[in-house]
Amino acid sequence: MIITIDGPAGAGKSTVAKRLAKQLTSVLFQPFEYLDTGSMYRAAALLGLRNGVDWNEPAQLETLAQTAKIEIDAGRTFLNGEDITDAVRTKEVTGKIRYAADNPVIRRQMVELQRAVAKRYAEEGKGLVSEGRDQGTVVFPDTPFKFFVSASPEERARRRLGEMAQRGETGDFDEVLKSINERDYRDSVREVAPLREPKDARRIITDGMTIDEAVETIVQSVSMTLTLRQSVSR
151 Cβ contact list (under 8 Å, min separation 6):
10, 11, 12, 159, 205, 206, 207
Between the CA of residue 24 and those of 6, 28, 30, 129, what are the distances in Å?
A: 18, 5, 7, 9
Q: How far is the CB of 233 from ligand C5P (least distance, A)?
A: 31
Asked if residue 37 binds ligand C5P (CB under 6 A), the reply is yes
Q: How far is the CB of 107 from ligand C5P (least distance, A)?
A: 7
* CA end-to-end span of the chain: 19
- Choose which of 46, 97, 161, 176 interacts with ligand C5P (CB under 6 A): 97
Asked if residue 156 binds ligand C5P (CB under 6 A), the reply is no
Between the CA of residue 62 and those of 6, 97, 98, 198, 233, what are the distances in Å?
A: 25, 13, 13, 28, 45
| Contact stretch for ligand C5P (CB under 6 A) within 33-41, 151-159, 165-173, 202-210 | 33-41
Residue among 178 and 229 whose Cβ is closer to ligand C5P: 178
Asked if residue 137 binds ligand C5P (CB under 6 A), the reply is no
DSSP per position, 3-16:
EEEE--TTSSHHHH
Q: How far is the CB of 70 from ligand C5P (least distance, A)?
A: 13
Asked if residue 187 binds ligand C5P (CB under 6 A), the reply is yes
Q: How far is the CB of 212 from ligand C5P (least distance, A)?
A: 21
- Choose which of 19, 42, 156, 160 interacts with ligand C5P (CB under 6 A): 42
- Near ligand C5P in 1-20, by CB under 6 A: 9
Alpha carbons 9 and 149: distance in angstroms, whole number:
10
Between the CA of residue 175 and those of 20, 91, 95, 161, 166, what are the distances in Å?
A: 31, 12, 13, 10, 18
Asked if residue 38 binds ligand C5P (CB under 6 A), the reply is yes
Give, for 109, the enclosing helix (H) or strand (E): helix 104-123
- Near ligand C5P in 50-89, by CB under 6 A: none
Q: Which residues make up the interface to ligand C5P (CB under 6 A)?
A: 9, 37-38, 41-42, 97, 101, 132-134, 183, 187
